[in-house]
A and B are shown apart, each in its own frame.
Chain A
Amino acid sequence: MSVMRGRGIASANYPTGMNLGGDPTQALVFCQPTGTFSVKLASTDLGQGLKTVIGQIAAEALGVPLESVVVDTGDTDSAPHDMGTFASRATHRAGNAVIMAATEAKKVLLEVAAEEMEAAPEDLEVRDGQVSVKGTPQRTMSVFDIALAAHFKQGRTISGRGIYLKPKSAIDPETGACDPDSTEAHVTTVADVEVDTETGEVTVLRLASAYEVGRQVNPQMVQGQITGGAVMGMAHTLMESVFPYYPALDHHPGNFGEYVIPTAVDLPELHHVVLEYPSSNGPYGVKGVGEMTANSPIPAIVNAIHDAVGVFVTELPVTPEKVLRALRAKEQL
């Protein structure tokens, strides 16, 4: 009857992009008469921050301030096709599609500007919403004025189309090898736990992780994913079950008193570091971050329980009942 401490380690490689028909996402970008650019996407913002990072990516690719970009998401009737917002794919897929669309729109923007400014398009650059002749910064024109000229004088649409698709990879019949994903993010988590051998209760004391996420478009949002994911991973390990006696559907939780998730008092000590090794095919080097943050804590905690009391409970969630049954089975060996 005692409280035992243990430490466990787990690592994950998290693939971005699936081998399903190339896992495509499309985007449209167009300029309003005000010089504001609209980005149309079917991908959606669930709170992970897609609108913000897509706005940043579009602003960067167009050369306009973030405030000049409106990201319109989530209506599959009116937006171009997207495979869906899941599996940490949206920033990579939609980001690439938006860069392609923004690049096409920017090309038209520079053509319109070239006519207004009597310069060659290849001699022009866009920065902070101003188009200027390279090397002659006093010759400038605002994107707003260029948009007005396009709409009301030249009769042109400053717009662009984008798609990202990695053609489906066939499986080599000899070796079974294929290249199913686009890039991979990485994580290693160390978990420290306490296991009460009398009650079977497990307390996570500390989760410390190192994440390799490619280029971070928005580090504060990456941090948000990491912290939320760590706590969610702990909850998957110890608390959450839709059907605790599956396949019997009795006793399924009907409210938050029965489907238990952590509250603000249940937090372990959390530490993390972020490493950036940009991917070759992500927008500005992006890899998918969100989902893997909830993955690695699970095996790390299960391993830490084994380190503490010598039993592997591999069916989630690791409830006190399962820990006690495993301890009893071990004693009877």
Chain B
Amino acid sequence: MATQLATHIVTFQLNGRPHAVTVAPLTTLRTALREDLHLHATKAGCGQGGCGSCTVLLDNELVLSCLVPVTLVDGRSVTTLEGIGGPGRLHPLQEAFHDHFAAQCGYCTAGMIMAAKWLLDRNPNPTRAEIQMALAGNLCRCTGYVPIIEAIEDAARRMSKGVKR
């Protein structure tokens, strides 16, 4: 269609800083993050809400960014993997994923870490079954999940030690 659709300006907090994007209606949060803001940790998997590779936090709740129109985040706060840590300042979850070899191709990793962060923010000392349930919406083709679960258990231990210190 040649008709030019109206664009929207959306402003929101992204990883603790104000950002604005100018987007066509129904642009997803995932597309805005990856293509307009060039943050590529959040992955584009199925685009149907089925794989979890696009998982981010919206006002500290887990959302699948492929299902969220970015206009809905206007005035709200979004956290992506880039916002919780990076080279030289790794989050304990990132450290533990690294140490436990919890990524092979890495396509699921950002979503897994965001789901794990959501869990540990609410439940700093989860059981293995609680970790498994928290990851149930995130698919991994490579690892068989075991190293991911072990990394999250280890991160929980590291973080609880950090609090005591």
Contacts and interface: CB of A to CB of B under 8 A. Distances in A.
Interface of A: 46-49, 220-221, 223-224, 227-232, 255-257, 261-265, 267, 270
Interface in B91-146: 101, 103-107, 131-133, 135-146
Contacts of A49: 104
B46 A229 contact: no
B148 interface: yes
A261 B141 contact: yes
Nearest to A267: B145
A231 B144 contact: yes
A166 to B, nearest CB: 29
B107 to A, nearest CB: 8
A257 B42 CA distance: 21
Nearest to A256: B50
Interface residues of B, number: 28
A27 B147 CA distance: 32
Contacts, number: 70
Contact of B50 (A255, A262, A264, A265): A255
B132 A221 contact: no
Contacts of B105: 46-47
Contact of A229 (B51, B101, B144, B147): B144
Contact of A265 (B101, B133, B140, B143): B133
B3 interface: no
B104 A224 contact: yes
A47 B104 contact: yes
Given A255-B50, A256-B50, A228 B136 contact: no
Nearest to A254: B48
25 contacts: A47-B103, A47-B104, A47-B106, A47-B142, A48-B104, A223-B101, A227-B143, A227-B146, A228-B104, A228-B142, A228-B143, A228-B144, A230-B144, A231-B144, A231-B146, A232-B141, A263-B136, A263-B137, A264-B135, A264-B136, A264-B145, A265-B132, A265-B133, A265-B136, A267-B146
Contacts of B139: 256, 261, 263
Interface string B33-58: 00000000000001010110000000
A74 B46 CA distance: 24
Contacts of B78: none
The 5 closest A-B pairs by CB, nearest first: A47-B105, A256-B50, A231-B144, A47-B104, A264-B135
Contacts of A48: 104
Given A230-B144, A231-B144, A261-B141, A255 B46 contact: yes
A235 B162 CA distance: 39
B46 A224 contact: no
A256 B51 contact: yes
Counting chain A CB atoms within 10 Å of each CB, which of B107, B131, B141, B144 scores highest? B144
A16 B80 CA distance: 42
B131 A264 contact: yes
B149 interface: yes
A231 B144 CA distance: 5
Contacts of A265: 132-133, 135-136
A264 B132 contact: yes
Contacts of B135: 263-265
Contacts of B133: 265
B106 A227 contact: no
B71 to A, nearest CB: 24
B141 A221 contact: no
A223 B101 CA distance: 10
Given A224-B147, A231-B145, 13 more contacts: A47-B105, A47-B106, A47-B142, A227-B144, A232-B144, A255-B46, A261-B141, A263-B135, A263-B136, A263-B137, A263-B139, A264-B131, A264-B136
Contacts of A46: 105
B104 A264 contact: no
Contacts of A47: 103-107, 142
Contacts of A262: 145
A58 to B, nearest CB: 21
Nearest to B135: A264
A56 to B, nearest CB: 14
B141 A270 contact: no
Contacts of A230: 144
B64 to A, nearest CB: 12
Contacts of B50: 255-257
A293 to B, nearest CB: 9
A236 to B, nearest CB: 12
Contacts of A231: 144-146
